[in-house]
Structure 1
Amino acid sequence: MPRSQTKLKIIEAALALFAKQGVSQVKLQHIADEVGISVGNLAYHFKHKEELIETVHKQGLQALEEVLKAFLEAPGFYDFDRQLSLFYHFSTRYHFCFSCNREIHLHQPQLAASWQDQLHKFFLQICKRLDLYQKKGWLQTEWWDGCYEQLAHNIFLCCCYWLPQQQFVEGASSSMAFRQAIWSQIRPYLSPQGNSLYAQTNQLAH
């Protein structure tokens, strides 16, 4: 097997095992067994587990950057729904970065800090999106000062932690269920115009 192909298989195996078992529970031997190589062969590509975690984490950061770019492209409800789908598929692949963030922070704080920076950008994008929707008349006037900032916080938490919780409780998830969970946070605040746009979006999405 070519070296570059072996390295890619190691990364893919690490991603799958980290997502399934958590970073602390996975040993290099487990990853080597998954790929079908010796630990010595694995160590040729990654000298220690921390190096592999860093590689996978940086790959996740790059993928998250691409998702966040998509959130800046178009402001409509249908576009937002499509962007949520992109985030869902990202999080199914890299959700260990959310669920194991504290663990990574303890051992590799620089990685955790980079991840937190990207997530803060994501939160600010959600805030700006809700502000735009209110200005367009798609959301009602704020029920109280800071109402939509709190809503943005709730959406952010749902985006980050819905998938691990769903898989823990039910063992399965879907893009549609994820998007519905996010929209259920937003729908009570929609104006009549917003409800009409949401109905159109729902028809297009199905």
Structure 2
Amino acid sequence: MKELASQSLRAYEAAHVRHLGYGQHYPVESLRSVWGVWTDVTPAMGSFEQADTPRARKLIRPLTLLLERLEAEGISDINQNWRARGAAVDLIGFGSCCVYPAGGPYPPGIFMIGHSYGYERTTDPERDVVALVQEWLDSQKADNLKRSLRNANAVRIAALVASPDGPAHALINTLAESPEARLHTPLRLPAEIDVVVVIAGPEVLDYGIVEGWRRTPIR
């Protein structure tokens, strides 16, 4: 059994908790305002492979230097200044950085709100579901699974669990929004695999047990 998840996203989420915290305020005497910060992890959300993420463990110091410069230039929101946006990309991706209104409970500093991401999906089950499963089977991520099944003497079943932490987010949502849709595109199964079973939220998909695809609700 394998999980369809982004390990880069999982690693970043763990690092964010360990080094930054969620809703964590960091007082900075050299700043005049409280800056709310969102980091962006869209590349990690969209890939099963290794993807770049902000460096959570070493973020506060370079972020402080950037915010000091923005305050000196009278900039209060990186989304309102293309130079500020460009300077922030290497630190927080396409996240957000803006000054909180004065008079709040915190002294000047950095308020780490959390992280955000975007993801693409077509809402077409053939593309968001079948094509994504095929992409995973064709990738190096499936190599260990294929090796483990290669010498099996029974029906060789690849059981996959779709996780919302990664590209399978689109698969789960598209299936949920199209409960009556049937899948038609055949999978190109590797020689080591006879059947593919995908656990996707409240239902199970299988390919190879009967002719074509089948969708079964989990009771």
Q: TM-score range by the shorter chain?
A: under 0.3
Q: Which has the higher contact order (CA 8 A, sep 6+)?
A: 2
| TM-score, normalised with respect to structure 2 | 0.24
Higher strand share: 2
When you count helix as a share of all residues, which structure comes out higher? 1
> Bigger radius of gyration, 1 or 2?
2
* Alignment TM-score, normalising by the size of structure 1: 0.25
